[in-house]
Amino acid sequence: MARQRTSCSAFTRRFAAAAIAVALLGSGAVAYAEAPPTAAAGLSTERPIEEGFTKPADQKPRELRFKMLGQVKNVSVKEGDVVKSGQELMALDDADERAEMDILEKDANEIRIEGARISVKVKKAEFERIKKLRAQENSTEAEYEKAEAEAELAELQVVQEQKDLEVKKAKVAKQQITLDRMKLRSPIDAIVLSVDSQAGETVDPSKPAAITIVNNNPLVVVVSLPTAQSQQLKLGQPLRVSYDRKEWKDAKVSFLSPMADASSRLQTVHLEMQNPEGKASGLQCFVELPDTTVAAK
13 or 181, higher pLDDT: 181
Q: Is the pLDDT of residue 33 over 70?
A: no
Q: Is the pLDDT of residue 21 over 60?
A: no
Q: Domain 61-90+182-214 has what CATH class?
A: mainly beta
For residue 59, the model assigns a pLDDT of 87
CATH numeric code, 49-57+216-296: 2.40.30.170
For residue 296, the model assigns a pLDDT of 52
Question: pLDDT, tens digit, for every residue of 122-143?
Answer: 999 999 999 999 898 888 999 9
Please choose, from the candidates 164, 153, 283, 150, the residue with its C-alpha nearest in 3D space to the C-alpha of residue 222. 283
For residue 44, the model assigns a pLDDT of 41
What pTM was estimated for this model as a whole?
0.69
Q: Is the pLDDT of residue 49 over 60?
A: yes
Question: pLDDT, tens digit, for every residue of 155-197?
Answer: 999 999 999 999 999 999 999 999 999 999 999 999 999 999 9
